[in-house]
Every structure is written in structure tokens, then in C-alpha cells.
Amino acid sequence: MKPDELGARAVRAVLAGRDMTLYLPAGEAWPLGWPSGDQLSADGTGEHYSFDPLKVLAYMQRLGKLIITADAITHDENVFGT
């Protein structure tokens, strides 16, 4: 997922008052400094985690990757990533 997509998804989750769910493929790791989340499920192909979207946005801001357009925020996509 591109940084702008991740940021827009996090903003939509904040606006909806929900956490965001992200999928981590097996064998992959979250980037250094990534906020902690709650593991929701796991299988042989990967794991689903729930994150506080404000923490995800703060992480992106620290990296200088927080660029979100109004178009991206209003895009009709599943906020929860399931």
C-alpha cells in the first residue's frame, strides 16, 4: 500500500471512530518504529492486526510521508481493510 493510500485509510478510520485493520503477509515485518497493534487473526499466509489510526498517522508524520488529499479521504473504500 502506498503512503497516500495508508494515510487516507487512517483518516477515514479516525472519521468513522474506528481502529484500522491491516494485513501483514507471512515472513514480513512491520517497519522500525511502527506503532504496536493487536493481533486479530493469523493463518499460514499472514496476520491481521488492529491499529489506532492516530498512531499510524503520527508515525507517518514523523517519517514525512503524510500527504493526504480530500479526494483520497472521500474515496469509497472499506475503512476497516477486511
pLDDT at 81: 46
Expressed as residue numbers, the domain containing 38 is: 3-70
The cell numbers describing 62, all together, are 514523523
pLDDT in tens, 15-61: 999 999 999 999 999 989 999 999 999 998 999 999 999 999 999 88
pLDDT at residue 67, rounded to an integer: 62
Mean pLDDT of 10-14: 93
Please report whether residue 78 resides in a domain: no
HSE (side-chain half, CA atoms, 13 Å) at 76: 0
Would 79 be classed as within a structural domain?
Answer: no
Q: What confidence score (pLDDT) does residue 50 get?
A: 97
Cβ atoms within 10 Å of 56's Cβ, excluding its own:
24
Domain count, the chain: 1
In a domain, 9, yes or no: yes
Q: Is 6 exposed, middle or buried (0-12, 13-18, 19+ CB in 10 A)?
A: buried
Burial of 4 from C-beta contacts in 10 A (0-12 / 13-18 / 19+): middle
Polymer length of the chain: 82
